[in-house]
Amino acid sequence: MKILVCITHVPDTTSRISFTDNDQKFDANGVQFIIGPYDDYALARAVELKEQAGGNITVLNVGGVETEPTIRKALAIGADEAIRVNAEPTDSLFVANEIAKVAKDGNYDLILMGRESIDFNGGMVHGMVGEILGIPSLSPVMTLEIEGDTAKIAREIEGGKEFIEVKMPFVAGCQEPIAEWKIPNMRGIMSARTKPLNVVEPSVNQSGTALQKFVMPPAKGAIKMVDADNVAELVTLLKNEAKVL
């Protein structure tokens, strides 16, 4: 089985977000970058599937050279090889077109990625890739089992889940509890250094949106504390001040 796992290179979940260049650019100063947490689930599931049934995992990132340490980490976790499409992605359409091109050329059985990136939270790339390739796309996927050429999937819906059967190839946007995040071991880290990381140039170069500027949310007002022995006061405040009851 050939699996393509698409990963994002995003600020750590604890990062403080700020912008520079007249609110045109993300301020990466002092920010730690990680594999997107949802992508990390996709990668972990790919490694488990490979352990069960054999196969090959290619990890793909559309991004500049600064994403290579993140890509190496994915190789250390268990991907066999990597492709970096050398571009500053502008939006989900841009990324989806480049992923679809790599996917088409590589003839993968399974294309996995996170349900959304945690920087732009678009949640659109998997669906776009599926449509470009003319194959099913499913997200958010909570469990994924493969039997022969068919996958059994649980997809989360509001208030529950939906069970789906689908033939490969297809695209899945993954989330927990599809697998447990894997921490690279020493052997993985050593071998990742010599695994192939191929850099290719973008071939479609198309976007559907243009950034105007970034905007920070308004600052939160001061908190009002209520005494634990006077809970009724909280109810009064919620009723008369916040007007939510």
Ligand X SMILES: Cc1cc2nc3c(=O)[nH]c(=O)nc-3n(C[C@H](O)[C@H](O)[C@H](O)COP(=O)(O)OP(=O)(O)OC[C@H]3O[C@@H](n4cnc5c(N)ncnc54)[C@H](O)[C@@H]3O)c2cc1C
What is d(CA 29, CA 20) in angstroms, rounded to the nearest whole number?
Answer: 10
Beta strands 197-200 and 81-86: pairing type? parallel
* Site for another protein contains 186 (CB under 8 A): no
Closest CB to ligand X among 37 and 188?
37
Could you tell me which residues come within 8 angstroms of residue 230 by beta carbon, excluding any fewer than 6 positions away?
none
Interface pick for ligand X out of 11, 37, 78, 127 (rule CB under 6 A):
37
How many other C-beta atoms lie within 10 A of the C-beta of residue 3?
25
Closest CB to ligand X among residues 35, 103: 35
Nearer to ligand X, 13 or 52 (CB): 13
- β-strand partners of 98: none
- Residue from 117, 154, 147 nearest 9 by CA: 117
| Binding status of residue 102 toward another protein by CB under 8 A | no
Beta bridge partners, 59, equal: 5, 82
Binding at 163: pick from ligand X, another protein, none (beta carbon under 5-8 Å per type): another protein
CB of 34 vs ligand X, minimal distance in Å? 8
Nearer to ligand X, 106 or 184 (CB): 184
Residue 138 in contact with another protein, rule: CB under 8 A: yes
Nearer to another protein, 29 or 194 (CB): 29
Q: Is 13 in the site for ligand X (CB under 6 A)?
A: yes
Q: Does 173 bind ligand X (CB under 6 A)?
A: no
CA torsion, ordered 22, 117, 81, 186, to nearest 10 deg:
90
Encoded one letter per residue, x for contact with ligand X by CB under 6 A and - for no contact, window 223-242 reads --------------------
Residue with tokens 């976007």: 207
198 binds, among another protein, ligand X, none (CB under 5 to 8 A by kind): none
Helix axes of 125-133 and 92-106: crossing angle, nearest 10 degrees: 40
Assign 195 to helix, strand or coil.
coil
Residue number closest to ligand X, CB atom = 37
Applying CB under 6 A, the residues found at the interface with ligand X are 13, 37
